[in-house]
Structure 1
Amino acid sequence: MKRTLKLTMAALLVALAASCAPSKFKTYNGPPVTQIVVNKSARQMLFLSGSNIIGAYNIGLGNEPIGHKEFSGDGKTPEGLYYIDRRNPDSRYHLSLGVSYPNLQDATFALTQGKDPGKDIFIHGQGPEGRVLAPLKRDWTAGCIAVTDDEMEDIYAMVRDGTPILINP
């Protein structure tokens, strides 16, 4: 009986400790994000509500940061107008927001070259891999836009699916 009581108490303490752990899912009560603007050359991502900048983050890009993504595996971050089209709460890079690459123009170009345009471009945190690579090389992704895990928690809360993202050279 004492053993059962001890095990029950231990299980309750573990459950209580787990419920007190900080969540990666934050809430956001500020103005709505109406557009994201990425300036690749400045390594900066801006969040706008109307014409007002409500957030700015330093970013890492694909491991070949110059030029527009054309094909799977080229290591480039796309350029152009896209949309946030999905979210991944279980990303290996902490949290992530999907970018609607490839668009019709991207896919058509790649197919005319007999190549795959690629897919799975995200704004994401670092996760374990990025925490190792980011201090060594700023542009370490396979074509995504990377921020710190803490920043990604804020971004994940701020941005809604359907938000336009303009990625400039």
Structure 2
Amino acid sequence: MKSAVVTIKELSFLSGYSISTVSKALNNKKDISSETRSTIQNIAKQHNYIPNNYAVALRNKVSKSIAVIIPKLTEGFYSKALCVLQKEADIKNYRMLFYQSFGCEKKERTYLNSLNDGSIYGIIVISDDDSKINDYANYTMPIEVLNIKSFYTDDQIQLGSVQSLSKLLGA
């Protein structure tokens, strides 16, 4: 089954222009004519073209996405942290992806390894294990550990979550 998402390659076919020219038109580059740019942009609009944010992030080496690895979403104290992180990420114009490790270190490592491809800005690992802070030195991307205990108050969870995101983003 073919995807409903229109790609630059498909826009190239539909417009009759090269992929390079389509890319330039969609990025408002001035080295193509305004007529060509307008034609391609109209075709893109007709087909509801949406840029692939991950491809853009890889090309520009800048991503506005962060990942959060959480042990178990159904634990109230973890879900509170996730809620705060989501709200704060939205305020800072970052998208958030989350992954559940279910407390499995192997699953956590698999996520970390697959996310280390440049498609995201950084990762927040939520944990109740104080020793995790030193586990991520070998990764090239920013990783922040948000340590949360089950007995933390809502205020402590909120403060820790905000601080963790700010530290990850360098703010």
Q: TM-score, normalised on structure 2?
A: 0.27
Tell me which protein shows more helix as a share of its residues.
Answer: 2
Q: Which has the higher contact order (CA 8 A, sep 6+)?
A: 1
